[in-house]
Amino acid sequence: MQFHLLIDGRMVDGARRLDIVNPADATLLTDSPCADHAQVDAAVAAARRAFPGWRDLPVDDRSACLHALATAMEQQADAFARLLTREQGKPLAEAHGELEGAIAAIRYYADLRSEPHLFRDSAAEQVIEQRYPLGIVAAIVPWNYPLLLLALKLAPALMAGNCVIAKPAPTTPLTTLMLGALVAPLFPPGVVQTLGDDGTVGSMLTAHPGIAHISFTGSTATGRAVMASAAGTVKRITLELGGNDAALLLDDADIDAIAPDLFAGAMSNAGQICLGIKRIYAPRAKVERLCDALSALAGQLVPGDGLDPATTMGPVQNAAQHARLTALLADSRTRGRIVHGGAPIDRPGYFIAPTIVRDLPDDAPLVTQEQFGPILPILAYDDEEDAVERVNDSIYGLAASVWSADPARGLAMAGRIDSGLVWVNRIFDLPFDVPIGGARQSGIGRHQGLAGLEEYMQVRIVNAALS
């Protein structure tokens, strides 16, 4: 398959091409087009030309375009899923799940409406809150869920009346460019555009004076750079950044009952989930049993190429992340005790053995940093006050979870966790109508729900004397 950029309604070659590697075997998958500064300028200019017509299009007509895109994706479901597995690494069943989530997100937003809010309405005055689109949105997407996270930006931004320029991660551009090919005949030229990137395009977009809003998902370090770059033109920004998400087990937690959920929360997508469990705090008396249960589950995973039906865990996505995780494993072997795994898997590709580590000090990198891979530290505590303090001792605040046999007790504990999202006795429950957003250095703004739609709109208060 040949891949192209989508600029101003036309599929075009990039200024240069970038090799894309299959993470399952570290071999060349294909090459992909990358935009240069002139093509970024052309995309912004096309979006600005398209914006008045898209903004003024009746909202039901915008909705119809999104539903048409969702239908086109459904018709290409197998091709999308296989391509996603080949560029990202996840097992084919998980790739289908991501695609289904992306389609559902597009349809959800296609049916959502933001209505004016009336503050005053009398014979003497009317005060009304209206919302209108910002203009051109740059949607910058990471490599762990390239389709789903793009859909969660693209759909609300378009329904709000904005035009969108989508920029995938340099290592996972292919499904985004495939989406661009579907978009081309369904939307007016310039409304949606897709730009490949070799690592230079993101900063062009964040600093560009023609861009009104940056929606970015990625690391906290890159998020800081996005904020700094956007400051020159005081762009609106939505940031979903890093997390070091803690799971806190209370002393009444049933280890055998919850271990599968904890394991899935840490190891799904080879641990590459922003909201996934990154560290577990357990009562000291339960640590041994917990390590045994998680190690048994780790032993059942089958790492391999995601296109192999036997595979239940794919590789990490890229060489840089593989090297970072390898360094974290080396440090953890010296500072803690490996109870399962503990090394890269000796085979082609970027595979890390699912690893359980215990007895690390609180200042170990695996405890303080976001590992973003299948390596899970288990940390013992002796009293709940100590546990809460250690859970909250982080620059991050994306998500957390509390596990207890008593839901009321779990809810009370959740109210003490400094995080934008806290689950109680569940993980990865993310209904589209419920807004989420990170605390502290885990992000700015809201995603999903009506708040996620209105994130892409400007508030206007109209205050009128009527007599």
Residue 274 is a catalytic residue: yes
Residue 466: C-alpha distances to residues 120, 125, 126, 129 (Å): 11, 5, 7, 16
Is the CB of residue 130 less than 8 Å from the CB of residue 207?
Answer: no
Nearest to 15 by CA among 154, 197, 173: 197
CB neighbours of residue 81 within 10 Å: 24
Distance CA 362, CA 279 (A): 11
Pairing of strands 422-424, 400-403: parallel
- Residue 48 token pair: 């600005």
Distance CA 193, CA 44 (A): 9
Active-site residue identified among 274, 291, 370, 455: 274
Distance CA 11, CA 3 (A): 9
Distance CA 390, CA 82 (A): 41
Instruction: Name, in order, each residue with C-beta under 8 angstroms of 448's C-beta and a sequence gap of 6 or more.
Output: 152, 430, 431, 432, 433, 434, 435, 436
Is the CB of residue 87 less than 8 Å from the CB of residue 350?
Answer: no
Q: How far is the first Cα of the chain from the last one, in angstroms, to the nearest whole number? A: 66
Distance CA 223, CA 243 (A): 12
**Residue for token pair 């009304």:** 128
Distance CA 144, CA 272 (A): 6
For the chain, how are helix, strand and coil distributed in percent, rounded to 5? 40, 25, 35
| 8-state DSSP, 434 | S
Distance CA 278, CA 285 (A): 21
Active-site residue identified among 94, 98, 240, 455: 240
Is the CB of residue 159 less than 8 Å from the CB of residue 432?
Answer: no
Maximum distance among all Cα pairs of the chain, rounded to whole angstroms: 80
Distance CA 410, CA 221 (A): 32
CB neighbours of residue 444 within 10 Å: 17
- Residue 465 token pair: 């004397």
Residue 322: C-alpha distances to residues 115, 128, 222, 244 (Å): 47, 53, 19, 18
Catalytic residues: 240, 274
